[in-house]
Amino acid sequence: MPEGNLLGIDYGARTVGLAVAHPLTGSARPLAPIVYRQAEGLAAEMCQVLKDWKPAMIVLGLPLDGAGNDTEMSQRIRGFAEQLAVWAPNARLAFQDERLTSEAAARAFAERRSQGRARRRDAAQLDSLAAAMILEAWMTEHGIV
């Protein structure tokens, strides 16, 4: 079991959803997502997140195809993981199959919206909600929850 913070990441082409957890709490909470236009902006903000939270473990959502094979996006995420290894050399990296996570996050957001609790500006939080679900799924699979 990792000691220290766990950081969940839902990497996207324009938004990176983030969530944090600690093994003792057993639950992940979404953080503000990173919205970026250029790789340099993402690098600066991601390095700040890593500095602030000092994760012992980083769990990245990996979108595989229906047969469990890599997709174009999962290959991009593997490249992003290589950058994370440079930015956070003391953190362990892990991947979590996220095939159902984005759909579950969208359903949860739609439910909040139907109850009048979600607003258009809250839509940016969807990726961080997905990151929390990715992190919780990883913790469940590894007996942390």
What does the pLDDT average to over 30-53?
93
The predicted model gives 39-64 an average pLDDT of: 94
* pLDDT, tens digit, 9 for 90 and up, residues 59-111: 999 999 889 899 999 999 999 999 999 999 999 999 999 876 767 777 776 77
Domain membership flag for residue 1: no
Residue at 37 is within a domain: yes
Nearest CA-CA partner of 41 in 16, 4, 64: 16
Domain total of the chain = 1
The reported pLDDT for the residue numbered 120 is: 54
Kindly report the CATH number assigned to the domain that includes residue 122: 3.30.420.140
The model's pTM is 0.87
> What integer is the mean pLDDT of 41-63?
96
Reply yes or no on whether the pLDDT at 44 is more than 90. Answer: yes
Assess if residue 71 is contained within a domain. yes
DSSP three-state, residue 123: helix
Categorize the per-residue pLDDT at 37 as very low, low, confident or very high, splitting at 50, 70 and 90: confident
If you write DSSP's letter for every residue of 72-122 in order, what string do you get?
HHHHHHHHHHHHHHHH-TTSEEEEEE-TTHHHHHHHHHHHHHHTT---GGG
Average the pLDDT over 29-54 and give the result. 93
> Which whole number is the average pLDDT over 21-41?
89
Residue 33, domain extent: 6-141
Quick: pLDDT tens for 109-119. 677 666 665 55
The neighbour count for residue 30, using CB atoms within 10 Å, is 22
143 burial (CB, 10 Å; 0-12 / 13-18 / 19+) is exposed
Q: What percent of the chain has pLDDT over 90?
A: 59
Task: Determine, yes or no, domain membership for 107.
Answer: yes
Residues contacting residue 61 through CB under 8 Å, at least 6 positions apart: 8, 9, 10, 11, 77, 95, 96, 97, 98, 101, 130, 131, 134
Distance of CA 74 to the CA centre of its chain: 13
